[in-house]
Amino acid sequence: MARGDMEELRAQYGPAFRWFVAAAGVTGTISMVLSATIVNVAVPSAMGAYGIGQDQAQWMATAFIATMVASQLLAAWFIDALGERMTYTFIAILFIFGSWLCYLSPTFEILIIGRVIQGLPAGIIQPMMMSVIFRAFPSDERGFAMGVYSTGLMISPMLGPVAGGYIIDELSWRHIFLFPLPFCAIALLLGFFFLPGGWRLRRLPRFDWSSYILLVATVFMLLSALGNGQRYGWSSNYILVSFIAAFAVGAWFVALQLRSSSPLLDFSLFNNAQFASAVFVYFVFGMGNFASNYIIPVFVQEVQHFSATLSGLVLLPAGIMVVCLVSFFGRMTDFVQPHYMVMFGLTMFAIGSLLMNGSDVNTTFWTFAFFVMISRFGMSLILPALNTAALRALSPEELNKGSGTINFTRQLGGAFGVSGVVVFMEQRTQFHVDALAATQTPGNTISRDLLDQVGLLLGEFGVPAAIRESGALHYLGDVVTAQASTLGFKDGFLIISIVYIAALFPAWVLGRSRPPIASEAVSKSADPTHN
């Protein structure tokens, strides 16, 4: 059996050891992180299976993302307590259990519990494997190794909808939860033999559990209030109490962090205007990116009536483009001011979302895929440039805290983005239903002609005259609902575009002052796009 120390493992397995570690990291990360997006193509199927609306269905994505965000803060504690190998083994087994629970879930509530269990290991594995891979490679190969791992992180959200769509069409929507398991099993085997850490339980390290519980409670209470507002009413006691409690607990968390000598989130970093602006842009980017990744497959299935496979494939060309361009634009940050690239990227993302706002049932597959590519071209610019701009704003001593803060903020924005855009679309859809229904009067000649044509068709199929009118009216109601749904999705794409435009000013603030040269040098060495 493999021994636990990194140097002993390197001596035992030779030069190939670092590649075994990289394989364990990339395979495990892809198998877990793709689960964040694989459910997006299954939303219509799950809504039908459980008889729920989008306000509840969005929890399949939101619960996973929120748990993944929160669990990232636990990674260091798990590594100190169990070591890398035991932690990796534990989270792989936990992910497999969560996947089976999702597959077998008899109720929607059990499915969400399974998604929470899946999200926990998906958050822990990302910072842990980044650190392990970094240490496994010699100093002159670490930039390349970080690039390989970062590519795996970028590929994961792209693979999820593609694989999920194909599985839904060929098998069933429940089978998407089993898709990652063979890869997870391979990763578990690799981690068992090649990760350092041994098998002895270490002394449990200190951790600020009270602050962590307050942070998790704040996030989930806010998400619960957002997700249930449409169902219970925004002025209901449940929603108002949830919001008040969330803000009170959040204020308590901030107060504890300001007094702590080793805070989970160092709020003193926000005294730096450049870094604060970068964090805001990160939050907005996470909101728009995760929100669009969620509603695009649903729009393609619900409005354009494409298959689940095509709803996943519509994201594939854009994903391939991002993987190809992100390293190139990362190198451009050496020659171009990053805030210009961030601003241009935000503009491109906004333009792509505006073009999607103009789409409807008549928009072709490749036209819509091109609109997605325009928005993701902006993403290729934003990611490396924003990383560089944020880290350049910090001193070398602040880099570790700063990098953790921006990663946490981006994914937290994703959780709120999915929940927020679904709530917004639900409200707008209901608004359009009411507005369109008000126009269905006897004086509306278009609707009258439609009713007459439907009545004639029903007569040709032998439907009794007594129920033709009610059948035609039912069909008209379906038409109104479908049109309102289309307009609701259009409004969803529009709000994403508006949010990105609003982020242009804080992106401009990123370039207002020049950081120290030492800070620039460190930030470049920390940027995975620099080899």
Q: Would you say domain 269-531 falls under CATH 1.20.1250.20?
A: yes
The per-residue pLDDT for 58 is: 84
Across 179-186, average pLDDT: 91
The per-residue pLDDT for 516 is: 46
CATH fold group of domain 1-208: Growth Hormone; Chain: A; (1.20.1250)
101: Cα within 13 Å, side-chain hemisphere? 18
Placement of tokens 């169990």 in the chain = 82
Distances in Å between the Cα of 133 and the Cα atoms of 69, 123, 166, 497 are: 21, 16, 32, 37
Across 14-39, average pLDDT: 85
Return the number of other C-beta atoms located less than 10 Å from residue 499's C-beta: 22
Placement of tokens 């570690």 in the chain = 21
The per-residue pLDDT for 336 is: 78
Return the number of other C-beta atoms located less than 10 Å from residue 445's C-beta: 8
Across 427-441, average pLDDT: 79
C-alpha angle with apex 403: 278 to 149, nearest 5 degrees? 115
Contact 368, 359 (CB under 8 A): yes
pTM for the whole thing?
0.80
Confidence check: pLDDT of 527 > 50: no
pLDDT tens for each residue of 235-271:
888 888 888 998 999 899 888 888 877 777 778 778 8
Residue 426's pLDDT band (cuts 50, 70, 90): confident
Handedness of CA 400, 405, 410, 414 (dihedral sign): positive
Return the number of other C-beta atoms located less than 10 Å from residue 143's C-beta: 19
- Mean confidence (pLDDT) of the chain: 81
Matching fold, domains 1-208 and 269-531: yes
The size of the chain, in residues, is 531
Confidence check: pLDDT of 68 > 60: yes
Contact 352, 375 (CB under 8 A): yes
Across 467-482, average pLDDT: 70
- For the chain, the first-to-last Cα distance in angstroms comes to 34
Compare 438 and 531 and report the one with higher pLDDT: 438
Which DSSP symbol is given to 235? Answer: T
523: enclosing H helix or E strand: helix 517-526
Q: How far apart are CA 39 and CA 33, in angstroms?
A: 12
Q: How far apart are CA 507 and CA 313, in angstroms?
A: 32
pLDDT tens for each residue of 269-304:
788 888 888 888 888 888 888 888 888 988 988 888
pLDDT tens for each residue of 349-373:
999 999 999 888 888 889 999 999 9
Q: How far apart are CA 531 and CA 523, in angstroms?
A: 13
Q: How far apart are CA 356 and CA 377, in angstroms?
A: 15
Q: Which residues contact 163 (CB under 8 A, 6 or more apart)?
A: 34, 38, 176, 179, 312
Confidence check: pLDDT of 23 > 90: no
Distances in Å between the Cα of 243 and the Cα atoms of 155, 247, 428 are: 36, 6, 22
Q: What is the DSSP string of 450-483?
A: HHHHHHHHHHHTT--HHHHHHHHHHHHHHHHHHH
Q: Closest Cα to residue 382, out of 330, 320, 428, 421?
A: 330
Extents of the domains making up the chain: 1-208, 209-263, 269-531
